[in-house]
Structures are given as C-alpha cells and as structure tokens.
A and B are shown apart, each in its own frame.
Chain A
Amino acid sequence: MLVLTRKVEESVLIGDNIEVKVLQVKGSGKHASVRLGIVAPEGIRVLRREVLIETTEENRRAARSIAPELSDVEPAQGAISPGKAGPERRN
C-alpha cells in the first residue's frame, strides 16, 4: 500500500482525472476523522467500503430466504418485458 502524508487542503491525484483532497481533520487518536473531497469522472463510482460489505452480507442472508408462498414458479417465457419489470423511463 502506498502511504502519503497530506495536510488539510492538500490533494493526491490518482491517474489523470481523480483527485482526493483532505478538507478537514477532526479529533485525534482512534476517534479522529478525516473529511475528504473527491473529484472523479462520472463513470467512477465512489463508495464507502461498508456499503459493499453490507450488500455482500445482505446477499448471503437473501440466499437463505425461504418463501414457500412464492415458490411455485415457471420459466420466464418470451421476452422479458422491461416495461413491466423495470422503472418507467424518465427524462
């Protein structure tokens, strides 16, 4: 892992178009927190790591779901209709 020390208002650049800037540092020791500002292109998703962990855990819970009242099934025939199963298009 690359480790850098930055002061408030200083940045690191990742590749050609991602910037991570330290905006504020609060507290000290284990309770310290750092407020970051991130500039990245539209196609780069920035996530808090916990969000991925939560969804991974939720997927594992979901895979254990038993819903007998919904378990009478038939193969989806014909085209899947996006109009029926997807959100309505906006803009």
Chain B
Amino acid sequence: MHMVRTSRFGEVRYDPGRVIKFERGILGFESTNQYILLNCKACDQFKWLQSIEDPTLAFLLYNPSTDFPDYWPPVNSKDLEELDLRGLESAIVMCIATVPGDPSFATANFQAPLVINVASRLGKQVVTGLPSYKTRQAIFHTALEMKTG
C-alpha cells in the first residue's frame, strides 16, 4: 500500500494498482494525471477524485444516474479508443461538482463529464459541446439537500 498525505482527508492509503490515469489531465490541471477514487461515506452518489501527485487537489464527483436518468453524454469513437473501451457499459460516468460555501448552490458540470474505464483505469474529461448540457447544472434539490440539511 502507498500513502498520500492529503490536505482534505489526511493520510490516505491506496493500492498503486488502483490508480486512475488521466493521460490528458483534467482541463486546467493538465499536468496532474494520477488520481485515486474515494467513496463518500455519507452519500453514495458522490465520490472524491484525489490526486496522488498534488495532495491539495481533489474533485468532488457526482453520479447523475439516479437523479438524472436521462443524462447520457455522447462519447465518440476517438474517446472510446483513448480510454481503451468498446462501449460505455464498462465505464463510469461522473460529473465534477462545485460546492460553494452555501451547498444549496451546488452544481455539477454536465457539459464535460469524466469517463473512467473501470478495467484499464484510464480516465478522460469529455467535453460534449452540446448546448443542452450545462456547465453548472444545479444538483442541490436532488442529492445535497438531504445530506447537508
């Protein structure tokens, strides 16, 4: 087991075989490529994506599948190739959440979800370009409301 001393969660131990590589990074953080997933104990719709290269960098990820069952971002053949995927059935799709001081204004980026190949542990932020998917989709009324009061 390896260990990273994170700014948010303290010491986190992880199996190096479970590291997820974002070869192109995440937009704005292109030079940070290796992350681990952490489960939120309070709510299984959320996970944290913690960088192991930058202990201060973590993204809260929101799983839209329960609250937004119609959300289905388009992923093209080039994305699938980069992720070593044949289809989305062996991938997880999660959206980066932004939680400001007041969690009632929490949003998630539906415009550019993260797609992660579960088996090969490759990830990519896919910018869909579809105007109907918002960069700041409100999620307060669905998931955070109950959890944060």
Contact = CB atoms under 8 A, between A and B. Distances in A.
Interface string A66-91: 11011111111101111011111110
Contacts of B111: 51, 54-55
Contacts of A58: 96, 98, 109, 112, 135-136
Nearest to B81: A43
Contact of B88 (A55, A67, A73, A86): A86
A58 B59 CA distance: 11
Interface string A43-68: 11111100110111111111101110
Nearest to A87: B65
Contacts, number: 159
Interface residues of B, number: 66
Interface in B80-123: 81, 87-94, 96-101, 103, 106, 109, 111-112, 116, 118
A10 interface: no
**B contacts with A: majority SS:** mixed
A75 B14 contact: yes
A83 to B, nearest CB: 9
Interface of B: 8-9, 12-15, 18, 26-29, 36-44, 46-48, 57-60, 63-65, 69, 71-72, 76-78, 81, 87-94, 96-101, 103, 106, 109, 111-112, 116, 118, 125, 127, 129, 135-136, 144, 147-148
15 contacts: A42-B77, A51-B129, A62-B98, A67-B99, A69-B103, A70-B40, A70-B42, A71-B8, A71-B40, A72-B40, A72-B41, A76-B47, A80-B37, A85-B94, A88-B69
Interface of A: 42-48, 51-52, 54-63, 65-67, 69-77, 79-82, 84-90
